[in-house]
Amino acid sequence: MKTSAKKPTKAKPTNQVRIIGGQHRRRLLSFVDAQGLRPTPDRLKETIFNWLTGYLTDAKVLDACAGSGALGFEALSRGAKQVTFIEPHAAQARMLTQNAELLKRSDQVVILHADAISALKTMKDKFDIVFIDPPYALDLWQPILQSLLDRELIHADSTIYLESDKPIDAVLDDKMLEQFTTLKSTKVGQAMAYLLMPKDKDAIK
């Protein structure tokens, strides 16, 4: 009896997210079904990018917990110069590469297949905009911000988007909060969203 070996199956995208503004408006990006991967809803995404009006043109962006890549690719669509995506899930990291190719933006994208803290330890360049939207259960908000400060990866005028399922004073300690000004905040469903900027301009060059 003749048998045939099964070919290895690729991780298939089971979901899609839409770019809502800019050059790639209405384009759909695929992402895999992975635990903790939770794209930002369109309603909140619209608010975020309204907040970032005036900051995006030619910006160097870090999507520290990329997931679907919705925030980073939205930033590219709206005028960012370069986006670095950090994504620990191997299949989703490959999907980010495919989406960059689909949008013909591969030359403006860096994709790091690693966890956020490990990846940040390898970086040297400063970012103008940072998205921090990790899986809520991992409690990465404070460690990521601390790494950004320790590695000097943000400058005095960097803007930082932070999304959590709890108030900001429940995910950042007092010492960390003292270092940032909250420019904007909102709540959409479970998500609490904040736009931060370094407070002490002399301390962060």
Q: Give residue-wise pLDDT tens across range 96-144.
A: 999 999 999 999 999 999 999 999 999 999 999 999 999 999 999 999 9
Q: For residue 33, what are its two tokens?
A: 């079904």
pLDDT confidence tier of residue 40, bands split at 50, 70 and 90: confident
Q: With 0.85 as the threshold, say if the pTM is over it.
A: yes
**Is the pLDDT score of 166 beyond 90?**
yes
Mean pLDDT of 188-192: 92
Report the run of H or E that residue 46 belongs to, with start and end.
helix 42-51
Question: How many whole angstroms separate alpha carbon 119 and alpha carbon 152?
Answer: 14
The residue whose two tokens read 């990465």 is: 140
Mean pLDDT of 155-183: 96
Percent of the chain with pLDDT over 90: 79
Helix ranges (H only) for 78-205 are 90-102, 116-120, 141-150, 168-171, 174-177
- pLDDT computed for residue 75 by the predictor: 98
pLDDT digits (tens, 9 = 90+) for 174-189: 999 999 999 999 999 9
- pLDDT computed for residue 202 by the predictor: 63
Question: How many whole angstroms separate alpha carbon 167 and alpha carbon 164?
Answer: 7
For the beta carbon of residue 56, count every other beta carbon within 10 angstroms.
Answer: 21
Report the run of H or E that residue 50 belongs to, with start and end.
helix 42-51
- Least Cα distance to 61 among 111, 115, 1 occurs for 111
